[in-house]
Structure 1
Amino acid sequence: MSRTPGGLADAVVHLDTVHKVYGGGKNKVAALDGVSIDLPRGTFTAVMGPSGSGKSTFLHCAAGLDRPTSGSVRLDGVDLSGLKEKELTKLRRERVGFVFQAFNLMPALNVRDNVTLPLRLAGSRPKASEVDEVIERVGLASRQKHRPGELSGGQQQRVAIARALVTRPAVVFGDEPTGALDTRTAREVLGLLREAVQWAGQTIVMVTHDPVAAAHADRTLFLADGRIVDALERPTADMVAERMTHLGAWAEERTAHDRQYGATR
């Protein structure tokens, strides 16, 4: 796996004219329509957009979970298009962390074993001191022997965050990581992600529908019809909500136009 020299050194994730098309003929849907973006190292990026805008497809292509129809994706300097499936799996395991809305913990394993599972699957022996540090960072030092069923939703998501961070990945992708949590717990989890950027220089990319969640990011990208149509630096919840309101109205107008156009063809 060769890395890219020069200009992309600080772009942990680089998308170049990425298209993703599902289906064919009349059923063809363009989920991503020529997306180009750099996501810098050590930053927190939120991705927002109306339903069907391409948010999940963006995350899946950027993380190497799905291959684009055309265009290229580089992750930590590696061009994903040239990788075979086995190489892609290895790269995701070693350089990518994931935090999902459903915590995806192993119910039979305790906190510590859930956190160290990615390392053990990769054939690595976890360093006790590093595991201790990440578990302490997420506030679960006294709960290491508890199983997921003995933890609250917020505590389970903390375990998932620790699991994503313990491999020291190049980037952590979050797919609605606070979607199943109450407001106070969500704020605590977002604070943890924010801290990971600050104390570990972690890179985080988070898909969310929540303006409050997006306000924890350094930058918010707005997707509509598979394209990045806007961005906010150092966003506030009010700024994000306002942009989303405009995007929602725009999306409704586009849908109405498309229906009319389809009816007259």
Structure 2
Amino acid sequence: MANHGRTAAGRPEAVRLDGVGKSHGRGAGAVVALRDLTIGFAEGTFTAVMGPSGAGKSTFLHCAAGLDAPTTGAVRLGGTDLATLTEAERTMLRRERIGFVFQDYNLLPSLTVAENIALPLLLAGRRAGPDLLLRTAARVGLADRLRRRPAELSGGQRQRAAIARALVTGPEVIFADEPTGALDSRTARHILALLRDLVDSGGQTVVMVTHDPVAASWAHRVVLLADGRVADVLDAPTAERVAARMARLGEW
């Protein structure tokens, strides 16, 4: 793999956005969602991305994860410039090198937990061995639930299954979009502790979009977006610091 960007601490970057701009529509009616956004996400770190409604969080996620192409600038996953890839190559990259976790889990109700976890491997044309499935399920505390279907699981267990599905390909980065948004506070805490442990103990890279200062406080740092730009970066965040900074951005 080509040598890619490094953070100030010398750690390689899993994802980097350079001068990324994104507009929806054309001409006078165009809406600018991202403006000259430059930021990197180091390997083995947990970053929360926050901002007021309309700040560009969803567009950032779609561009960073290769779901959407930026209007200007470059997005790199490791040493790969996503702009150089065909649509088919981008699809394969998302399947093999990126994991996704969503607020509503996106599990297929007709499949068992094991089959849901195996899905990214099957889509990428790889064999889903039982040892790998069991190991992945054990990492998220679901080793005894592999034969259950989503309807037989609690909300927290469904999100654990979704995290296992995101992990199974050994992705370079996991993008989580409001992963605790549908959970009660106690269950959310368990899911956030799991994500943090995947980073601290497993070396995983996690980038999480959230509106919740408590959820953001589990991350190593918080990136605050406003009007499509980086407004601030908070290291070692607390919920109180995040809430105070968000208030100054006009969220509440």
TM-score normalised by the chain length of structure 1: 0.91
List runs of 5+ in structure 1 lacking aligned partners. 253-265
1:149 aligns with 2:147: no
C-alpha deviation, 1:129, in angstroms: 2.3
Tell me what 1:190 maps to. 192
Secondary structure in 1 matching 2:249: helix
Give the whole-Å Cα distance in 2 for the aligned partners of 1:84 and 1:104.
26
Tell me the amino acid that sits aligned with residue 108 of structure 1. S
Change (3 A) 1:133 1:7: same
Secondary structure in 2 matching 1:139: coil
Q: Confirm or deny: 8 A CA contact 2:113 2:161 kept in the other structure.
A: yes
C-alpha deviation, 1:102, in angstroms: 1.1
Q: Which of 164, 171, 174 is the equivalent residue of 1:169?
A: 171
Tell me what 2:46 maps to. 44
Tell me what 2:60 maps to. 58
C-alpha deviation, 1:131, in angstroms: 1.8
Give the whole-Å Cα distance in 2 for the aligned partners of 1:216 and 1:51.
21
Tell me what 1:242 maps to. 244
Q: Confirm or deny: 8 A CA contact 2:4 2:79 kept in the other structure.
A: no
Tell me what 2:220 maps to. 218
1:5 aligns with 2:3: yes
Alignment map for 1:104-183 (pairs within 5 Å): 104-183=106-185
Question: For residues 85-122 of structure 1, what are the alpha-carbon distances to aligned partners after superposition, in whole Å with 9 as ceiling and x for unaligned?
Answer: 00000001010000000110011111111111111111
Give the whole-Å Cα distance in 2 for the aligned partners of 1:40 and 1:222.
17
Question: For residues 115-174 of structure 1, what are the alpha-carbon distances to aligned partners after superposition, in whole Å with 9 as ceiling and x for unaligned?
Answer: 111111111112322221221121111111110011111110000000001111000000
Please identify which structure carries the higher helix content.
1
Tell me the amino acid that sits aligned with residue 100 of structure 1. F
Tell me the amino acid that sits aligned with residue 139 of structure 1. G
Give the whole-Å Cα distance in 2 for the aligned partners of 1:39 and 1:83.
21
Secondary structure in 1 matching 2:47: strand
- The alignment covers a number of residue pairs equal to 248
Give the whole-Å Cα distance in 1 for the aligned partners of 2:30 and 2:155.
38
Change (3 A) 1:7 1:65: closer
Give the whole-Å Cα distance in 1 for the aligned partners of 2:162 and 2:213.
22
Query: What is the root-mean-square deviation in Å for CA atoms of aligned residues?
Result: 1.3
TM-score normalised by the chain length of structure 2: 0.95
Structure number with greater Rg is 1
Alignment map for 1:56-95 (pairs within 5 Å): 56-95=58-97
Give the whole-Å Cα distance in 2 for the aligned partners of 1:41 and 1:70.
25
